Amino acid sequence: MTRQVLRSIFTTAAVAATVAVAAAGQTGSWTPSRLADGQPDIRGHWISDAVGGAHSVEDGRDPDADVIQGRVDEKNPILIVDPADGRIPYQPAAAARRQQLLRDIFTPTRREHVDPHIRALLDGVPRNNYVPGEMQILQVAGAVVILYESNHSYRVIPLDGPHPPAQVKLWMGDSRGRWEGNTLVVDVTNFNEDTWIDSHGTFHSDALHVVERWTPAGLDRIDYSVTLDDPKVFTRPWKMAFAVNRNRDKNYEIWEDSRHEGERDVDSILSAGRKEKAAGITGVHEHRREGR
């Protein structure tokens, strides 16, 4: 456990150095080298700029938790770039369900009130790209593979082939990639409806359609953007964007993160929530980002 914390601190330091270098050295577009099969080379260990901002994709980190954990000076980047107001365009019924989830999160009494991430379930796409922990991108002929540190999850992204039949539902969805110039465009469908996009109950249905764009912007930076569409939940597609920076620790190895095996939080969260609710304590989990 101490080892993991130490590794995280080293990673953060390495990333901070990387960001500074990238900001100083970047002008215009970047042309990555090519692999033998012609794919632009984006291999390596990466960590997203949005880690820590992912408590809520709308409102950023929880300021109370930041004070407790001493993270007041860390970045808390804006993730939603469209719509301009930074709010998710829920349909009215979906907005009501989301508001109920924010009440349930305040005093959780059932498992489905607890963030699937805490329950050690898979994070889905795009959330896996901004939960804490790094990711390694490998490229082989005809495919891009992403190995995530968090909860040992993985995605194999073939560069060809159709999505499976719609009846197939997957926690991480089905990813199919293609290169548009130097940008890896990944089309993701076949989701189930069990993952959340952040810990604020940002939910979706099995009609979720995700399109990711991974554009190398320098040796040590990928500009990432993602469009989410779900005709059962949102009034229109919306978009997030953030930078993904290289972890320049050349000896870094992703080690086992056995999340479920050590999971003891859910029972205590539910026990506390039930006691509070029985005592008449109710409320809404909310904290608005300044200026939004």
Partner 1 sequence: MSARKARASMAAAALVAIASSAAGQSLPRASDGKPDLSGIWQAVNSAAWNILPHPAEPGVPGGLGVVEGNEIPYTPAAAAKQRDNFANRGKLDPETQCYLPGVPRATYMGLPFQIVQTPAQMLMLYEFDHTVRNVFMNSPHPTGSIQWWMGDSRGRWDGDTLVVDVLHFNDQTWFDRAGNHHSEALHVIERYTLIARDHINYEATIEDPKIFTRQWKMSMPLYRRLDRGMRLLDYECVRFNEALHPEPADAN
Q: What residues make contact with partner 1 under the rule CB under 8 A?
A: 36, 109-111, 119-122, 138, 140, 143, 145, 147, 151-154, 156, 158, 161-162, 164, 168, 170-172, 174, 194, 253-256, 258, 260-261, 270, 274
Residue 161 or 181: which CB sits closer to partner 1?
Answer: 161
CB 53 within 8 Å of CB 130: yes
Residue 31 C-beta: closest distance to partner 1, Å? 23
Tokens of 268: 């205590």
Residue 69 C-beta: closest distance to partner 1, Å? 27
Give the whole-angstrom CA distance, residue 51 versus residue 130: 5
CA 194 to chain CA mean position, Å: 15
CB 36 within 8 Å of CB 140: no
Residue 110 or 232: which CB sits closer to partner 1?
Answer: 110
Residue 231 or 255: which CB sits closer to partner 1?
Answer: 255
The one-letter amino acid code at 173 reads G
Residue 260 C-beta: closest distance to partner 1, Å? 5
Give the whole-angstrom CA distance, residue 144 versus residue 156: 6
Q: Which residues contact 159 (CB under 8 A, 6 or more apart)?
A: 39, 142, 143, 144, 176, 177, 178, 179
Residue 239 or 274: which CB sits closer to partner 1?
Answer: 274
Residue 61 or 127: which CB sits closer to partner 1?
Answer: 127
Hey, how many other C-beta atoms are within 10 angstroms of the C-beta on 228? 24
Helix (H, G, I), strand (E, B) or coil at 54: helix
Residue 75 C-beta: closest distance to partner 1, Å? 29
Tokens of 218: 């320098």
Tokens of 41: 């080379």
Residue 95 or 254: which CB sits closer to partner 1?
Answer: 254
Cis peptide before 83 (omega within 30 of 0): yes
Residue 127 C-beta: closest distance to partner 1, Å? 15
Residue 140 C-beta: closest distance to partner 1, Å? 6
